[in-house]
Amino acid sequence: MLARPGLPSFDYVRASTPDEVLHLLDEHGAEVRLMMGGTDLLVRMRQGDVRPRFVVDVKHLPGMRDIRFDEVRGLTVGAAVTMNQLAGHADVREHYSLLADAARSVASYQLRNRATLGGNLCNASPCADTAPATLVLDGRACLYGPGGEREVTATEFFLGPGKTAMQPGEFLTAIRYPVPPFDSAGRYLKLGRSKLGDLSLVGVAILGFSDGTASSGYRFRIGLGSVAPVPLLAREAEAVLATSALCEETLALAARKAMETAMPIDDVRAGAVYQKAMVRTLTLRGLREVWVWLQSTQSRSR
Ligand SMILES: Cc1cc2nc3c(=O)[nH]c(=O)nc-3n(C[C@H](O)[C@H](O)[C@H](O)COP(=O)(O)OP(=O)(O)OC[C@H]3O[C@@H](n4cnc5c(N)ncnc54)[C@H](O)[C@@H]3O)c2cc1C
């Protein structure tokens, strides 16, 4: 047995139309695996976890590598847009900097040239870096299947490790993000075992914005990665920030609530107690940074 076995044999199909993909999925079902960058799929095939007969490359389908921004409709990112494309795109950096930061935090520059946003979400790993950002930015997965197109919110999309709301025969074509609230600020904080492209032990995405309907005058959305079977929104922490006057004590209470929402398990990469403590630390750090930014925007607009 080879120490590092090679890829098993398979038929490679470069799909050129969405209906061709549907036809292949319909005809060959579980024997088909879709591929974009292949940075998850090919590793799993090499490890022997999956052995598809057909690998269908969908990244050349029309629109799959496009990024479109419109000040009314928001951002549409083709499923096969790479992390480097996303991190470097002017509209993404200006209006969705949180998403750009999350994309930039993935692995190494070389890997980010292949790894795609859609692949990161479809893989449904609890530690996918773009998942918490997609949650707080209210992203929607655009799916295409035998019944046509449909959209699924990010909160409904992730069902468990490796499991999504995609039905058999469907595939992801794009991710849509609405225009973020005016003057919002976002941060993605990631803790890995090394700064050089490691999977996250904890990922925290925060979006804050002023909102006259909240009694504090502000709302925050907080997404947590790597600390539960699926990426989560820290709803209790969000409620604290919407209802209590914002000050250091409120930020600290919200960070504690975020910690209480996290449900990590002990594994080879980190202990649960440590991960919980790091959720609190990173949430507090992120909230302070976003809060400082929101205050400075407010004083500029006075
Ligand atoms: C060395 C290394 C370091 C990594 N570091 C990180 C990291 O720091 N952070 C992080 O989040 N991830 C990391 N990853 C994981 C991986 O790179 C990312 O999840 C990446 O974004 C996956 O994208 P891809 O295009 O390569 O997906 P692929 O491997 O092409 O596909 C991923 C999964 O989605 C399915 N799929 C592909 N296209 C579609 C579609 N259109 N519709 C439905 N299903 C589809 C595939 O069948 C497969 O199951 C790392 C991986 C490696 C090998």
Q: Are residues 137 and 196 in the same domain?
A: no
Q: Are residues 173 and 229 in the same domain?
A: no
| pTM of the predicted structure, to 2 decimals | 0.96
Tell me the pLDDT band of 266, cut-offs 50, 70 and 90.
Answer: confident
Whether 64 is in the pocket of ligand 1, judged by its Cβ within 6 Å, is: no
pLDDT for residue 39: 97
Residue 119 in any domain: the answer is: yes
- What is the average pLDDT across 286-299? 91
| Closest alpha carbon to 77 in 69, 64, 67 | 67
Q: Are residues 214 and 294 in the same domain?
A: yes
Ligand 1: which of 22, 28, 40 to mutate, judged by most atoms within 8 Å of the beta carbon? 40
Nearest CA to ligand 1 atom 37: 35
Residue 22 in any domain: the answer is: yes
Nearest CA to ligand 1 atom 15: 40
Q: Are residues 76 and 169 in the same domain?
A: yes
**Percent of the chain with pLDDT strictly greater than 90:** 91
Structural domain boundaries enclosing 29: 11-57
Query: What is the total count of domains within the chain?
Result: 3
Residue 134 in any domain: the answer is: yes
Please compute, for residue 258, the number of CA atoms within 13 A of its CA located in the half-sphere on the CB side. Answer: 36
Q: How far is CA 269 from CA 127, 262, 265, 274, 291, in A?
A: 12, 16, 10, 11, 31
Whether 38 is in the pocket of ligand 1, judged by its Cβ within 6 Å, is: yes
Copy the structure tokens of residue 172: 């992801």
Give CA–CA dist 141/146, Å, rounded.
16
Q: Are residues 74 and 158 in the same domain?
A: yes
Whether 86 is in the pocket of ligand 1, judged by its Cβ within 6 Å, is: no
| 8 A C-beta contact, residue 91 and residue 75 | yes
Residues 64-80 pLDDT 10s: 999 999 999 999 999 99
Residue 2 pLDDT more than 70? no
The residue type of 173 is T
Q: Are residues 224 and 173 in the same domain?
A: no
Q: Are residues 116 and 49 in the same domain?
A: no
- What is the average pLDDT across 138-159? 98
